[in-house]
Structure 1
Amino acid sequence: MIGTSTIEYIILRACILFLHNIAPTSLLYSALFLVSFLLDQNPHTYRLPFPIEVWLLSEAAFYTIVFLPYERYLQRAAIHPEPLSQEERAKLFARCNINVSDPEKYIRQWLLGAKVNDIKRENVKEFIRWAFWNAGDVLQRDEDEVEDYVRALEKLLGRSIPHGKGSAKSLRLTLDKVNCSHRSLFWYLCVSVVDTITFCSLLYNGFHFHRTSLACFVELFPFQPLTLVSGYESPVKHLTYWYRPHTSKTRLPILFIHGIGIGLYPYTNFLRELNTRGGEGCDGDVGIIAIEIMPISSRITHSALEKDVMVREIQTIIRHHGWAKFTLVSHSYGSIISTHLLKSPLTAPAIGNVVLIDPVSFLLHLPDVAYNFAARQPVYANEHLLWYFGSKDIGVAHTLARRFFWSENIIWKEDLGLEVEQWEEGRKVTVVFGGKDILVDTNTVGRYLIDASFEGPQISDKAIRMASEIKTAIVSGLVSVGGEEWKTRPWIGSGLEVLWFEQLDHGQVFELERTRRPIIKVIRVYTQARSSS
């Protein structure tokens, strides 16, 4: 993630302008080429150099033959999960209402920032039908329940919502159009270069790539020719991954799940540093599995996997390598998959301690993540980066519009398993936030997590020394403000804790060694915890 300086804005906007105009330029040149070929006796007049001409004609063909039909194909309606029962809906609605700190913002942002005067009762009902029924309309017998929820929101707001329908429009991700932008062949060439760098880097650092079957090679674009040389095959149909063998007998291996972007490239240094031994006395290497999620990695491929399919495939991979327990680490969108793993009876028993970096799954009923990613009009350089290279990507846009169901993806503190019976001190969870995050309201989520968080056992002198070492490694700039002392609270390695980086934006914690270091130390401490069973 880049910053907000003027020079960064100019450079980024220039890059977006270039990439965005490749398609119209190639279409215009192809039209002129065709006209000159049909009408001119000398079709070589006004011709560009042959390599550039081949590129532009290829771009035009790719846009018309691949992108346009694929974009129409992606507009198919979402297959929503089974609707909740009335009791389950009421429980979910009540839970959400309890955790709304700013009711006016809550309503207005789900209605795309509409003015209060433009929001009337039917607008709010439209949002409620989508949020709690996954539908544009509900049966007549459910309308009374919808009305009850509107009354509950009125109590939350402290005012009445006028009858009628205003000009406000509700943000309904799974019902709205899949809003994506064309990606050129040139862009996919850049992705291939980055992919090659990632492949070579991870291979050099001791990871083995596990590919899907050779028959699935053509199902991913841009193609990955280097994967053909791998002698390791994934035990599942869809997921590919990088694996570092686990040889330690006293520590837990690590499962890492990345976020939206360009795959594992932003995490190569992080994985390399995790790959080093933990110091003297280690009895072997800590194994690492880094899952690749191609639908959110700037690729054209299969749709994002359904929740249950993803859980089963990860479970199969874990069992394939003989892991009975593991430490779970994820970033951003990876926290959604972590949510499913933590909730599933298939995988939850195998999860030891957890590190969630820039998670988006807490308080997902609040509009911040959906609005900031899918609806906000970008102004600053970092917002344009998130908008063009993130939310407008074909795979990402489809994933969020047709495969992202907030009520399934949300995780509450109670779901973290902080008192798992088979663990002597309960499961330990550390959540990492940046104070300048443009996607998540980290202040609100952080306060939610820390309030009445699980209190661990009496802190030992060793734990205090370890906490001091980790805390002093965190980037400077933290200031303890009234009511925000939780941001500077020492990390003690017990229960639910937060690491707060005041000056960092979403994803920036991976960019510098000094900001990665405290997270890596936390993970290494977490891998030392063993089950008592």
Structure 2
Amino acid sequence: MIGTSTAEYIFIRGCILILHNIAPASLLYTALLLSPLPTSLSIHSLPLPVKAWLVAEATFFTVFFLPYKYYLQSPAIHPELPSREGRAELFERCNATVEDPEEYLSQWFLGAQKEHIKRDNVKEFVRWAFLNSEQAKSENEDEVEGYVDGMEKLLGRDILPGKGGAKSLRLTVDKVDCLHRSLLWYFCVWVVDTITYLSMLYSGFHFHRASLKRFFMLFPFRPLTVFSTYRSPVKHLTYWHRPHLSKDRLPILFIHGIGIGLYPYTEFLRNLKPVGRDDREVGIIALEIMPVSSRITHPALEKDVMVREIQAILKYHGWSRFVLVSHSYGSIISTHLLKSPLTAPLIGPIVLIDPVSFLLHLPDVAYNFTARQPVRANEYQLWYFGSKDIGVAHSLARSFFWSQNIMWREDLGVAGADGDKGRDVTVVLSGRDLIVDTKAVRRYLAASLSDGGIPNKAQGCMTNGNRKASITKARKQETGAWTGGKFTGSGLEVLWFEHLDHAQVFDSETTMRAVGKAIGAYSAKV
């Protein structure tokens, strides 16, 4: 993630201006090229390669993008609802961690004032959030009314009757809001992918490709992968594998976030080399999640399909236990792995870097990623190159079901207050994260540490003084600050980088080393 300086702002706005206007410029050129008017003759002075490129861009926009964008608007297939008791429990659990109810409600309604958010507006939002429904159904209306009553209790006031002008953010029923990507952009993606491919090979990884029959299911095409002699044992997922040779260390499963695939992590993975006492290398599997990697490909996999494919990959390589490491969107997949009986028993220690899955019922992640109007350079980068990408926009608008994706502390399986042995977990957070309210996540984890479970409603509304008392103050140093002052490798620990933004932990050797220290220690817990 870039910073917020004036120079970076000018750079990112310039890149967006050029890339976003390739399509209209190409359409205009092609129209003039086909025009019989004499004034169009001057356009023939362009070199032939430039002419061919502009015509190709215009064709790509009209023949592919426009119909594909229409196709992407197909409604989401929502997962099966939990029981009514389960829904009520989820509602109460969410309310227990809301610290500012008025801000919570306003942000879900895109910053609307409370007088514009009336009872029918809230009912509409509740139907989506807890019933996966866009329309009112008579059999559920008493339940919806009960949730609105609960919202009034949380707010400490009555919600005005009727329907106001506010519009709520409802990811899986709102339109898929994406922007065109030019062939030039996909050429840049191909260049980055090629660099990543060569870099990973140089670092000792082997690429496990999909079936050759699926070569044309991914764009831009990856001709280098055809020559790989290693084949993925599953239909969709491709991945990079470094063989696990150590007998006294755990291997590592790495899941990346939204962006351009594994490119931002190549140095991190290259230097992630904890070595056992037998001086043999620790294995790594780095998955490729292509629907959120600036590619045109299949839709995001359903939760159960993703879990089964990962389990099959682990079984193929003979892994019976591993360290789970994920970044950003990868924490969503980590949540599914932790909740599945197929994979949960295989997961040892965990490192979650910039996770987006904690407190997912709060509006920050959904609003900041999909609805916020960008102002600063980093916000424009996230907006154009992240949320408006075709694959990312579709994945979030049609496959991102928050109640499935949310991670509660007990899902981690950390040792409880009764002394039961559980997993060791490190959560890496950045103080200037532009997507996640990391301070709220930090308070949630700190409160959980203090009582061995999720905070109750009273704890969710602690005073500022109580919150500060529950957390060790962060030391301002490049290596980050651990909640307990130092890394112990036991229980749940938070590594806090006060001055970093989302994903910037991968920009510095010092910060990567601090995260790698935890991973190396966890790998030793065979």
Q: TM-score range by the shorter chain?
A: over 0.9
Query: 1:85 Cα shift?
Result: 1.6
Q: Where do residues 115-514 of structure 1 align in structure 2 (5 Å cutoff)?
A: 115-274=113-272, 276-278=273-275, 281-419=277-415, 425-453=421-449, 475=478, 487=483, 489-514=485-510
The residue identity in structure 2 corresponding to 1:257 is: I
Query: 1:116 Cα shift?
Result: 1.5
Tell me what 1:526 maps to.
522
**Partner SS state of residue 487, structure 2:** coil
Determine if contact 1:240/1:292 at 8 Å carries over to the other structure: yes
Tell me what 2:106 maps to.
108
Query: 1:472 Cα shift?
Result: 9.2
Tell me what 2:48 maps to.
50
Give the alignment's TM-score, normalised by structure 2: 0.93
Q: Distance in 1 between matches of 2:422 and 2:171?
A: 36
Determine if contact 2:253/2:322 at 8 Å carries over to the other structure: yes
Query: 1:158 Cα shift?
Result: 1.1
Alignment deviations for residues 114-133 of structure 1 (CA, whole Å, 9 cap, x no partner): 01121111111111000001
Query: 1:270 Cα shift?
Result: 0.3
Tell me what 1:483 maps to.
none
Determine if contact 1:473/1:518 at 8 Å carries over to the other structure: no
Q: 1:68 to 1:42 in 2, by over 3 A?
A: closer
Q: Distance in 1 between matches of 2:325 and 2:39?
A: 65
The residue identity in structure 2 corresponding to 1:297 is: S
**Partner SS state of residue 325, structure 2:** strand
The residue identity in structure 2 corresponding to 1:34 is: L
The residue identity in structure 2 corresponding to 1:349 is: P
Q: 1:392 to 1:42 in 2, by over 3 A?
A: closer
Query: 1:84 Cα shift?
Result: 2.2
Alignment deviations for residues 423-469 of structure 1 (CA, whole Å, 9 cap, x no partner): 9842001000000000000000111012131799xxxxxxxxxxxxx
**Partner SS state of residue 254, structure 2:** strand
Q: 1:284 to 1:56 in 2, by over 3 A?
A: same
Query: 1:419 Cα shift?
Result: 3.6
Q: Distance in 2 between matches of 1:455 and 1:99?
A: 14
- How many percent of aligned residue pairs carry the same amino acid? 66
The worse-fitting range, judged by mean Cα deviation, of 69-78 and 282-291 is: 282-291
Query: 1:46 Cα shift?
Result: 4.7
Query: 1:43 Cα shift?
Result: 4.9
**Partner SS state of residue 45, structure 2:** coil
Q: Distance in 2 between matches of 1:443 and 1:42?
A: 59
Alignment deviations for residues 214-252 of structure 1 (CA, whole Å, 9 cap, x no partner): 110010000001101100000000000000000111110
Q: 1:200 to 1:473 in 2, by over 3 A?
A: farther
Q: Distance in 2 between matches of 1:229 and 1:342?
A: 35
Q: Distance in 1 between matches of 2:507 and 2:420?
A: 35
Alignment deviations for residues 477-511 of structure 1 (CA, whole Å, 9 cap, x no partner): 86xxxxxxx75632211111100000000000001
Alignment deviations for residues 135-167 of structure 1 (CA, whole Å, 9 cap, x no partner): 112321211111111111111111111001110
Tell me what 2:76 maps to.
78
Q: Distance in 1 between matches of 2:377 and 2:334?
A: 30
Query: 1:283 Cα shift?
Result: 3.7
Determine if contact 1:450/1:496 at 8 Å carries over to the other structure: no
Q: Distance in 2 between matches of 1:86 and 1:424?
A: 31
Determine if contact 2:480/2:496 at 8 Å carries over to the other structure: no
Q: Distance in 2 between matches of 1:250 and 1:510?
A: 27
Q: Distance in 1 between matches of 2:375 and 2:483?
A: 28
Query: 1:374 Cα shift?
Result: 0.3
1:28 aligns to 2:25 (yes or no): no
Determine if contact 2:479/2:514 at 8 Å carries over to the other structure: no
**Partner SS state of residue 449, structure 2:** coil
The residue identity in structure 2 corresponding to 1:497 is: E
Which residues of structure 2 form unaligned runs of 5+? 453-473
Q: 1:321 to 1:122 in 2, by over 3 A?
A: same
Q: Distance in 2 between matches of 1:112 and 1:370?
A: 10
Q: Distance in 1 between matches of 2:52 and 2:135?
A: 50
**Partner SS state of residue 78, structure 2:** coil
Determine if contact 1:455/1:494 at 8 Å carries over to the other structure: no
**Partner SS state of residue 452, structure 1:** helix
Query: 1:277 Cα shift?
Result: 4.4
Q: 1:45 to 1:146 in 2, by over 3 A?
A: closer
Query: 1:53 Cα shift?
Result: 0.9
Q: Distance in 2 between matches of 1:298 and 1:41?
A: 39
The residue identity in structure 1 corresponding to 2:139 is: R
Q: Distance in 1 between matches of 2:426 and 2:480?
A: 20
Tell me what 1:467 maps to.
none
The residue identity in structure 2 corresponding to 1:164 is: G
Q: Distance in 2 between matches of 1:509 and 1:144?
A: 47
**Partner SS state of residue 342, structure 1:** helix
**Partner SS state of residue 169, structure 1:** coil
